[in-house]
């Protein structure tokens, strides 16, 4: 089982690097602005009005962490985004297999062969992180739906939704299907667990 994950991860990283080198080189459109903002954040400069007006602060923080710890090289960023995508996909498919009670290796292979995924994983775009965050949101919503409705799991889901919204505001629509998935497991303690569910997105939006 672990061999399967390693092979798929290596394949995904390889396809991301090849796609990046052949088609676009990682830096496109708004990429320089995200990198400039990330450099500022890594130097604890959070108040520059010229670059801050554009938003996308969460993705800039994500890039700043990668750049500070490893490198701002677009290939390195692409590989880190691909690894996050792989981890997210493995968790989602694992929960889907529990929900459907069947092996979904074919679905995993199809997911890893979608060309657009590798294009965005290798790009310095908010969409690159957005894919993985949305996948994680539904992975944890399914985890709760499958019976693991602890306050900790709901808090993790709440945090993931908050990060997803900060990354791209329009992705906030995922809160509706996520709530639909977890509702059967939290309805007996709806007020308390519902408040936990919405707490982190509201808190992060207020900070933003």
Residue 53 has a pLDDT of: 62
* Reported pTM: 0.89
pLDDT tens figures, 171-195: 888 999 999 999 998 888 888 888 9
In angstroms, the CA 107 to CA 133 distance is 19
* More confident site: 44 or 29: 44
Work out the percent of the chain whose per-residue pLDDT is above 70.
93
Residue 51 has a pLDDT of: 65
Rounded alpha-carbon distances, angstroms, from residue 170 to 23, 62, 112, 140, 167: 27, 19, 25, 20, 9
Residue 50 has a pLDDT of: 65
* 42 pLDDT higher than 90: no
pLDDT tens figures, 49-93: 666 666 668 898 999 999 999 988 989 999 999 999 999 999 999
Residue 64 has a pLDDT of: 93
Contact 186, 142 (CB under 8 A): no
User: What SS3 state is found at 126?
Assistant: helix
* 148 pLDDT higher than 70: yes
* 35 pLDDT higher than 80: yes
Residue 10 has a pLDDT of: 94
In angstroms, the CA 89 to CA 24 distance is 24
Here the tokens at position 70 are: 């490893």
Residue 161 has a pLDDT of: 94
Mean pLDDT over 100-128 rounds to 88
In angstroms, the CA 149 to CA 155 distance is 10
* 1 pLDDT higher than 80: no
Residue 55 has a pLDDT of: 65
In angstroms, the CA 185 to CA 7 distance is 35
> Helices 175-186 and 126-145, interaxial angle, to 10°?
20
Residue 123 carries which DSSP code? S
Contact 61, 46 (CB under 8 A): no
Mean pLDDT over 155-184 rounds to 91
């Amino acid at each position: 089982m672990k061999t399967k994950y390693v092979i798929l991860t290596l394949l995904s990283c390889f396809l991301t690097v090849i796609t990046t080198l052949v088609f676009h080189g990682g830096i496109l459109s708004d990429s320089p602005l995200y990198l400039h903002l990330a450099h500022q954040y890594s130097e604890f400069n959070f108040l520059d009005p010229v670059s801050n007006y554009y938003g996308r602060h969460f993705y800039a923080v994500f890039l700043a962490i990668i750049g500070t710890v490893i490198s701002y090289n677009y290939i390195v960023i692409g590989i880190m985004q691909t690894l996050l995508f792989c981890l997210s996909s493995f968790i989602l498919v694992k929960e889907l297999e529990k929900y459907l009670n069947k092996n979904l290796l074919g679905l995993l292979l199809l997911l890893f062969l979608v060309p657009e995924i590798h294009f965005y994983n290798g790009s310095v775009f908010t969409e690159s992180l957005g894919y993985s965050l949305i996948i994680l949101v539904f992975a944890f919503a399914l985890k709760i739906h499958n019976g693991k409705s602890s306050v900790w799991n709901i808090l993790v889901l709440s945090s993931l939704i908050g990060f997803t919204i900060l990354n791209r505001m329009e992705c906030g629509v995922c809160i509706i299907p996520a709530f639909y998935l977890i509702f059967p497991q939290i309805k007996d303690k709806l007020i308390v667990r519902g408040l936990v569910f919405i707490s982190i997105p509201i808190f992060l939006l207020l900070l933003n």
